[in-house]
A and B are shown apart, each in its own frame.
Chain A
C-alpha cells in the first residue's frame, strides 16, 4: 500500500479487487450500502489511514453489533456515519488487523497491517487463495508496476519484476517487439512458451493494454500448474484485468508523450576506411589491390560525392528519434448491485526509418486502440453475473522489404558505403562500376534496396487486426444446498479479423554520368511502375467453456476447500490443418485443507485430453500435491518473532504435461501421402516434366512423412521447496524457492538410426531434460520520519538445465553432443590465440602436445585464429567443435532491482534489470568483413572491424578480430569462442519521477488527482557487449534496434 498515493483515486488496492472478483461475502465492499449524508449532532466524520499515513480507501466501518449500520471510506479515505459519538465502531480492511474504536467526529484511525496477511489473497489457477495458505510457487506483480513506462507490450516490462521469469527482447520493431518469455527457463527442446491466460481464458499477452491489468501472476511449480494438465508444464501466466468497485464513479485519464531513440547501432565504415581495409586484406592474401589509388583518393577527399559517395547507411536511413503517444481513459465505480470498469486506450508508435518523401506511407508505424468494459451484477444476494467485453484494433505500416525487418536491417549492414549517394532531388541514385575515367571494382548493395522506396522492392505493407473478446460468467452461491458451496459457469468467445494490404512497385533508379563539361548527369535505369495492390484477410475464432463447483468452509479451525471444474475449448483456425478445429477438454480437481492457517495441504489434479494423440493415448492425469507449514505460528517460535516475524515452509511435487510438440498435429495418424502434386522439384514439388518441349507437368505422389501412433505428451515432474520469511515486523520480506524438474518423453526424431532408411524417422517420445534453479526475492518497505517513504526490492533467478537424452547422431567425443549440456549450447571451436611465431611453442607448453594443423592448413599466417585440438588428433576439424564452452542466448541469472521513495508529493522509482551467464554469437557481417547475401567479397564493413582487427604493423593479442583475409576466411571466421560474446548487462529499465499536485483549484474542478511525471525506459545499459543492444541479435537476421524512451505523462483523476 506504500505507493498508493501515486494511484490514489484510480487503482484500488489489489486485495479489494481480488476479493471483489471472487465474490466472497466476508470482506470488502459487498456489504456496504448506499450512503445518505445527514446533518446533525449524530454525525461522525473520520479518516482511516495506514501506518504510513496513507489514506485507506474502501475500508469498512461498522457499528459494533449491527449487521447493517456502517459504511466504507471514500476515495480520500473519509467516512461519514450517522451515529452518536462514543459508539463502538469496527474498522476493517483486507490485509489489516480489524480495530474497535470509539466514534468521535474528526477522528483519525490508523490501521495496522495484518502481519500474517491472513486476508490477503493471491490469484491462482481457476480462483484465488488466501496468501498465507498458498503452498505452490508463484510470483505476482500489480498493474501499477507495469504502467510506469508506456510500452506497447506487457512482455517487455516483466523482466526483473517477477522472480523465475526470463525475458529476451530481440527486436524493437513497432508492434512486433514483444519479448520472448520463459518461466523458469527452458526445460524442453520443443516449444517452451508458457501458457498465458487473460481472465482465465487463453489469450495473447502482447496486445493487452497494460492499463487494464490489475495483476499478473506467474505459476511456476507443479502444484500451481497441475490443473492445466497437458498445457501447464512450461509454466502459466495469469493476467487479471481490473474490475469496478462500489462507490461513485472514478474517472482517470492519462496521456503521455514519448521520444524514442534507438539504443545502439553498430557503426559502419566510411568509403575510405572500407577501401583501405579492403586493400589491406588483399595485401594479406598477396593479390593485387582491388581499389586503385585514384579511387581511394576520391574517397579520402570526398571531392566527387555523387559518383564516389561515402554513406553510413544507418545514419542516412535512420531517424535520430521517433514519437510515441499514449492516452488512456478509464471509469470505474458501481452501486451495491452493479460494478463496472471501463477503459479506452490509444497507443501510437512511430518508426525509426525515414520515408524520403515517398507518396505512400511505408515507414514502421504502429497504432492501437484498446477498449474494455468489465461489468459485475449482483443479480440476487447469491448470484453474480459478470461480463467482459474487450478488444483492440491495431494497424501497422511496414516497408515492402520482402525480407521482414531483419532482412531490411541486414541489407543495411551488408551495404557498401559507396553503392549510392542516396536520394538526390527525389531520385534514387546508384553508382556504377564503369565510369569512363575511373572504375569502382564493384558497387555492392545499397542500404535502401530492401527498404520500400527503391529498386524492385518499392511499396508498403499495411496490417490491421480487429480483435474482440467476450466473457460471460455466472456465480451462484449454493449455500441453500450446503454452506460454502458455489457454482460457476463461464463462456468466452474470441475472434480476430485481420487484413494485409500490400502495395508493391518497382522503382527507377538513376546512375551518374560524367558529362563532357565535367558536370554530372543522370541516366535512368528501370522504370517506376504503378503500385500493384493486393489484399489478404485472415481470421481467427475460438471459444472456451467452463463450469465449476467450489466449496469453501471452515469447521472450527479446520478450513476445507474443494474445486471441481470442467472445461472445453475450440480453436477454429489453427495454424496447421486449418480446416479442422483444434480442441481441448479437461476436468480439474482441487482439494485444500488447512488447520488454523498453520498446517496446509493441497492436492491438485488435471485430467486432460488433447487431439494431438491417438484416442488410446489421448487422456492423461496430472496430479500434484503440496504441503505448507507456518512455523512462526508455533509457540516455540515466539522468542524469534521479533526478528523473524513470519516463516512459512512450502514443498510441492507433481506431474504436468506439455502437448506443444513442434506445431504438428495428428502425428498418430497413418503415414500421410501427398497426391496430385503439380510442383516441379525446383519449386519444392514432386511433379516431373517428361516429353519434348512439353509445357505440362506430370503430377507426383509421395510419402510426406512417417508418423508414430504412440506419440503422447511431454511429462514434467516438478519439485519445489520454498520458504516465505518476513523479518523485523515484516519490513523485510523474503521468498526463497529451489526447484527441480525432470522433463521426459520429449518428442524428437531419433538420429541414431541409419540414414539409409530413406525417410525422416517419426517423432518419438524419447527426449529427457533436467532443469533446476533457485529464486530469491527480498522486499524492504519503511519510512523515515513522516513524509519519507522508501522501498527496495531485489529478486534473483537462476536457472540451469541439462539435456539428458537427445538421440543425436553418434559423435566421437562427449563434448560434441547436445546431451550433457544446457539447451541451446553452441557447437564451436575453442579459440586459443592469434597466430604468431611463438604460438606453436606456447601451445605445446600449455597443452603438452604438438601444435595441431589448423583449419587453414599450411597457409596459416600471423594474425590468423588458432584453435585448440580438443580431440588431440593433431588436426583441427569438426570433431574439435564442442558445446562445453560458453553460455547460451538465454541468461542463467536474471536479477531485478527496484528502489524508490516518495517524499511528500514527489515520488521517484527505478527498476533495474540485469542478466549474466548469457552470450550472443555474432555472425554474418558482424563477424566477417565484406559479407553479403551471396558471398564475402562485396558486402558491408563495420568501423569496429577497422579499429579492432589484428594487423601486421602492430601485431598483438588484444584484438577482437583475426587478420583480415579471404584466403583463410574458413579458418578465421569459423564459429568459435572468439565470436561468442559476453552479453551480460545491467539495465536501468525504468525510471519514473512523479509529482502529485494538490492545489486549491483542483477541488473546484472536481479533480482529486493531478500528477505529472517523467519516465524513461532502457535509459542506461551497462554491458561489455559491443554489437548493438545485448538483447538483440548481431547475426544473419539482425534486429530492429531497441529503443530508449523518454516520456512525459499527465494523469488526472476525477
Chain B
C-alpha cells in the first residue's frame, strides 16, 4: 500500500476535525469561554422583584406553604399520614393505623426529643420557617418592584404579616414562646443568636403583626370568586381572638405552672406567664367585640341556616358551613390542591375509601357527648334502663315486604351523623342537600361494613364507629369538590366569644346566648332548658364544660379538641381516662329468643352483603329485614392503650423541640419534662 503521506495526513486531519468539531462548530473555544456558558433560563431574586407579576407570584408561593390539617401525603409532616392527625391524641378519636407516629410514638409514650420527624407538628417539618423566610424576602424586596401601586404593595405586605402571624401561632400552641425572626437570613450570618422569647413577647409579636395588617386589608376579599383564600381584615381580627384565647387559657395564664411546682428551666417565661391575670381574658373579649363590631358594620359572614327544620336541613346547613368554599361561615381556610382536580388521593378519597391510614375512629366517649335531637344530654345508663339503646342512632319501622327500615328517624344531634358514621345511618350523602341514601352502615360485629374491625380493634370501624368529618359518606360526592382546611370560622368565633364573656366578665347570659345560636342552627334547644340540673346560669364550671363539649360536637376533627384539652390542662380529668368502643352484636329471633347470630349455625352476620341477598324475596326468612335489634357492649380500647391512661405526664401539654436543634446553642431551650 503506497500512499502519499501528505495526502493522507491532510485527509486525516480533515476527518478528525470533522468528527471532533463538525457537528458543533460553535464550540470551538478554549479556556473559560469553553466552560463558562451558564444557564440562561434561571430566574434570580432580581428577576422576581423587578417584575410586578413575578412579585405577586412570590406572594402566592408563600401562601402555598401554609399549614393544612388533613393528612394526605406519604411523608412525615402534618400533611403526611405517617405521623397522624393530633385529634387522635384527644379523648374523642383513636387512630388505628399502626405505622403512624401517633400510634407508635405517642400512644406508647415513647416520644422523645430525639424522635425527630415523628412529632405530629415538627418544629422543623412544617414549612414554618420556610414560609417566614419567604414572607420576609417579599417584605424586604417589594419596595423595588416597578409598575406596582403603593397600595397594592402595602396590601401584599399586610398579607405576609398575617402569614407570619398565623404560622407563628401554629407553632406557639404546640411549643410555647419562640425565637422571633424579624428578617430574612443568609447562610453566613455573623452571629446566630436567636433566643426563645417569652409567651408574652411571642403573643404580642403575633398580635402586633395582625393589628398592622388589619389596618390595611379589606374586610372581605375584594372579588370572592377569585380571591377567597387570601388574608383579610376579618381573618386577621378573628385570628387575633384565637391567639388571645389560647394565651389567656390556664395553660399559660395561671397561678401555677403546668409542669410540676417549678420549672427546671432558668427562664420559664417561654412556657408560662408566671401568674394569672383576668386582663388577658378581657383582652380576648375586647378583640372579639372589635370583630363583632366590624361584622355588624360590614357583614359578609354568617352562620349557614337550615332551609328546613328537618334532619336533612340541619345536616346540610352544618355540612355546608365547613365544606363549601363559598360558605359564609368560613372566615379563612387553606388549600393544597386546586378545585375540581388533584383531590384523587387526598383525605376525602382515601378516608372515604375507608383506608386503614385514615382509621380515626370516634370513641364511645365522643359519641355520648352528642345530645338527643332535641338537645337533651344523652345518658347511657338511663337509655339502657329505658331499653332504648336500639334507638340511640336511628329508629324506624320494619314493614312487610320492605327489606329496608321504613320511616328512618334520626334520634340524636344532627351533627353526630355528619361527624361520625354510626350504625343505621345511610352511607351516601347528597351534594346539594342533606339527603342520605344507599346502604345502611352495618357497624355491628361482622356487619357488611365493619366486618371484624370492632372485634379485632382494627381498621376504619375499630370502635364500632367511623369518622365522617371531611369525609361526608363513603363514595363521597365531595370527592372532587372542596378540599379546604378551615382555619377560622364564625361558629368557632361565637364559641370563643362565649368563653371569653364567661371568663372575663362572668357573663352567663351573654355566653349562653352565643352557644345557643350554634345549637339552634341544628335544631337543639337552649342549654339551660336542656340541662335543668346543671345551674348553667350560675355554675361557671358547668357552663364552661358545656361550652367545651359544644365545641367538640361543633368542631370535630378540626384540631379544636386537641387545643381545648391542653389549654385547660385537662390531662388528669379527660386525657388519662381509658377510652371505649362499642361492639354491637346482631340479634335474631329463634324460638322467641333473641340470640347472637354468631351463635347460630350457618347464619350470616352480614346483612346487605349476606342475608339481604340470599333471603331476597322470601320475607318469611328471618334475615330478610334490616337488623334493628342488637346487643351492645362497650369495650376498652387496647389497640393501643395510651401511656397516659395510667397517669398523665404534663410534659405532653407542649411538644419537645428536637434535641439536636436545642444543641445548636442559638438560644432554644427545651420544654419542661423532655
- Asked if A937 meets B451 with Cβ closer than 8 Å, knowing A688-B64, A756-B181, A809-B664, the reply is no
- A677 to B57 CA separation, bound complex (whole angstroms): 8
Nearest-neighbour CB distance to chain A for B536, whole angstroms, equals 39
- Asked if A585 meets B339 with Cβ closer than 8 Å, knowing A543-B24, A937-B98, the reply is no
In addition to A439-B451, A687-B64, 4 A-B residue pairs with Cβ atoms within 8 Å of each other are A580-B37, A695-B339, A759-B185, A809-B660
Closest to A545 in B: B20
A580 and B38 contacting across the interface, CB-CB below 8 Å: yes
Closest to A754 in B: B666
- A-B contacts, 27 of them at CB < 8 A, read A288-B452, A441-B452, A493-B20, A543-B19, A545-B21, A570-B27, A572-B24, A580-B38, A583-B35, A615-B32, A673-B47, A680-B338, A681-B64, A681-B68, A681-B337, A691-B229, A693-B325, A701-B60, A703-B45, A756-B132, A757-B185, A811-B660, A856-B108, A877-B114, A935-B356, A967-B639, A970-B110
A470 and B228 contacting across the interface, CB-CB below 8 Å: no
- CB-CB contacts of B13-38 with A at 8 A, as 1s and 0s? 10111011101100100111011111
Q: Chain B residues near A681: list those with CB within 8 A.
A: 64-65, 68, 336-337
Q: Which of B1, B44, B336, B668 sits near A672, CB closer than 8 Å?
A: B44
B98 and A936 contacting across the interface, CB-CB below 8 Å: yes
A673 and B109 contacting across the interface, CB-CB below 8 Å: no
Closest to A386 in B: B12
B255 CB within 8 Å of chain A: no
Interface residues of A in 551-583 (CB under 8 A from B): 568, 570, 572, 577, 579-581, 583
Interface residues of B, CB < 8 Å — how many? 129
- A671 to B638 CA separation, bound complex (whole angstroms): 52
A701 and B664 contacting across the interface, CB-CB below 8 Å: no
B335 and A474 contacting across the interface, CB-CB below 8 Å: no
- A970 to B32 CA separation, bound complex (whole angstroms): 56
Nearest-neighbour CB distance to chain B for A15, whole angstroms, equals 27
Nearest-neighbour CB distance to chain B for A202, whole angstroms, equals 15
- CB-CB contacts of B611-622 with A at 8 A, as 1s and 0s? 001100000000
B606 CB within 8 Å of chain A: yes
Binds B, one of A78-86, A232-240, A377-385, A997-1005: A377-385
A966 CB within 8 Å of chain B: yes
B32 and A609 contacting across the interface, CB-CB below 8 Å: yes
A263 CB within 8 Å of chain B: no
Q: Chain A residues near B116: list those with CB within 8 A.
A: 878
Q: Which of B9, B19, B134, B342 sits near A703, CB closer than 8 Å?
A: B134
Interface residues of A in 419-476 (CB under 8 A from B): 433-434, 436-437, 439, 441, 470, 472-474, 476
- A695 to B338 CA separation, bound complex (whole angstroms): 7
Q: Which of B15, B43, B335, B458 sits near A674, CB closer than 8 Å?
A: B43
B99 and A934 contacting across the interface, CB-CB below 8 Å: yes
- A966 to B104 CA separation, bound complex (whole angstroms): 10
B609 CB within 8 Å of chain A: yes
A682 and B110 contacting across the interface, CB-CB below 8 Å: no
Q: Chain B residues near A611: list those with CB within 8 A.
A: 35-38
Q: Chain A residues near B130: list those with CB within 8 A.
A: 758-759
Interface residues of A in 156-176 (CB under 8 A from B): none
A579 and B224 contacting across the interface, CB-CB below 8 Å: no
- Asked if A700 meets B64 with Cβ closer than 8 Å, knowing A755-B124, A970-B104, the reply is yes
A874 CB within 8 Å of chain B: no
B43 and A673 contacting across the interface, CB-CB below 8 Å: yes
Q: Which of B34, B108, B602 sits near A859, CB closer than 8 Å?
A: B108
A686 and B64 contacting across the interface, CB-CB below 8 Å: yes
- B residues within 8 Å of A by Cβ? 1, 3, 5, 8-9, 12-13, 15-17, 19-21, 23-24, 27, 30-32, 34-48, 54-55, 57-58, 60-65, 68, 72-73, 97-99, 104-105, 108-110, 112, 114-116, 123-124, 129-134, 137, 179, 181, 184-187, 189, 192, 194, 224-230, 325-326, 335-342, 346, 355-357, 446, 448, 451-452, 455-458, 481-482, 602, 604, 606, 609-610, 613-614, 638-641, 643, 646, 659-661, 663-666, 668
- A688 to B65 CA separation, bound complex (whole angstroms): 9
B105 and A970 contacting across the interface, CB-CB below 8 Å: yes
A536 CB within 8 Å of chain B: no
A750 and B448 contacting across the interface, CB-CB below 8 Å: no
B19 and A812 contacting across the interface, CB-CB below 8 Å: no
Q: Which of A682, A689, A706 sits near B187, CB closer than 8 Å?
A: A706
Q: Chain A residues near B613: list those with CB within 8 A.
A: 436
A335 CB within 8 Å of chain B: yes
A669 and B20 contacting across the interface, CB-CB below 8 Å: no
B646 and A858 contacting across the interface, CB-CB below 8 Å: yes
- A671 to B134 CA separation, bound complex (whole angstroms): 13
B97 and A935 contacting across the interface, CB-CB below 8 Å: yes
B34 and A583 contacting across the interface, CB-CB below 8 Å: yes
- A855 to B114 CA separation, bound complex (whole angstroms): 13
Closest to B99 in A: A935
Q: Chain A residues near B640: list those with CB within 8 A.
A: 967
Q: Chain A residues near B604: list those with CB within 8 A.
A: 436
B663 and A811 contacting across the interface, CB-CB below 8 Å: yes
A393 CB within 8 Å of chain B: no
B60 and A699 contacting across the interface, CB-CB below 8 Å: yes
A855 and B325 contacting across the interface, CB-CB below 8 Å: no
- CB-CB contacts of A679-711 with B at 8 A, as 1s and 0s? 011110111111111111111111100101000
Q: Chain A residues near B661: list those with CB within 8 A.
A: 754-755, 809
The CB with the most chain B CB atoms within 10 A, among A473, A673, A706, is that of A673
The CB with the most chain A CB atoms within 10 A, among B38, B45, B341, is that of B38
Q: Which of B31, B58, B339 sits near A701, CB closer than 8 Å?
A: B58
Q: Chain A residues near B54: list those with CB within 8 A.
A: 675, 701
The CB with the most chain A CB atoms within 10 A, among B41, B47, B458, is that of B458
Nearest-neighbour CB distance to chain A for B581, whole angstroms, equals 12
- A572 to B26 CA separation, bound complex (whole angstroms): 12
Q: Which of B31, B64, B131, B610 sits near A436, CB closer than 8 Å?
A: B610
A489 CB within 8 Å of chain B: yes
- CB-CB contacts of A177-215 with B at 8 A, as 1s and 0s? 000000000000000000000000000000000000000
- A242 to B118 CA separation, bound complex (whole angstroms): 58
- A490 to B325 CA separation, bound complex (whole angstroms): 68
A690 and B229 contacting across the interface, CB-CB below 8 Å: yes
B19 and A935 contacting across the interface, CB-CB below 8 Å: no
- A434 to B229 CA separation, bound complex (whole angstroms): 45
- A877 to B60 CA separation, bound complex (whole angstroms): 40
Q: Which of B17, B124, B355, B455 sits near A288, CB closer than 8 Å?
A: B455
Closest to A710 in B: B188
- Asked if A936 meets B663 with Cβ closer than 8 Å, knowing A673-B47, A692-B326, the reply is no
The CB with the most chain A CB atoms within 10 A, among B42, B455, B614, is that of B42
- A672 to B45 CA separation, bound complex (whole angstroms): 8
- CB-CB contacts of A270-291 with B at 8 A, as 1s and 0s? 0000000000001001111010
- A610 to B37 CA separation, bound complex (whole angstroms): 11
B8 and A385 contacting across the interface, CB-CB below 8 Å: yes
Q: Chain B residues near A859: list those with CB within 8 A.
A: 108, 641
- A682 to B79 CA separation, bound complex (whole angstroms): 9
Q: Which of A491, A809, A967 sits near B20, CB closer than 8 Å?
A: A491
B64 and A691 contacting across the interface, CB-CB below 8 Å: no
Q: Chain A residues near B482: list those with CB within 8 A.
A: 693
Nearest-neighbour CB distance to chain A for B633, whole angstroms, equals 13
A383 and B5 contacting across the interface, CB-CB below 8 Å: yes
- Asked if A966 meets B98 with Cβ closer than 8 Å, knowing A682-B337, A812-B659, the reply is yes
- A917 to B83 CA separation, bound complex (whole angstroms): 36
- A669 to B451 CA separation, bound complex (whole angstroms): 60
- A332 to B445 CA separation, bound complex (whole angstroms): 80
- Asked if A618 meets B35 with Cβ closer than 8 Å, knowing A753-B187, A757-B133, A856-B108, the reply is yes
A758 and B133 contacting across the interface, CB-CB below 8 Å: yes
- A697 to B342 CA separation, bound complex (whole angstroms): 11
Nearest-neighbour CB distance to chain A for B203, whole angstroms, equals 19
Q: Chain B residues near A856: list those with CB within 8 A.
A: 108, 110
Q: Chain A residues near B606: list those with CB within 8 A.
A: 434
Q: Chain A residues near B132: list those with CB within 8 A.
A: 756, 758
Q: Chain B residues near A855: list those with CB within 8 A.
A: 108, 110
Q: Chain A residues near B98: list those with CB within 8 A.
A: 935-937, 966, 969
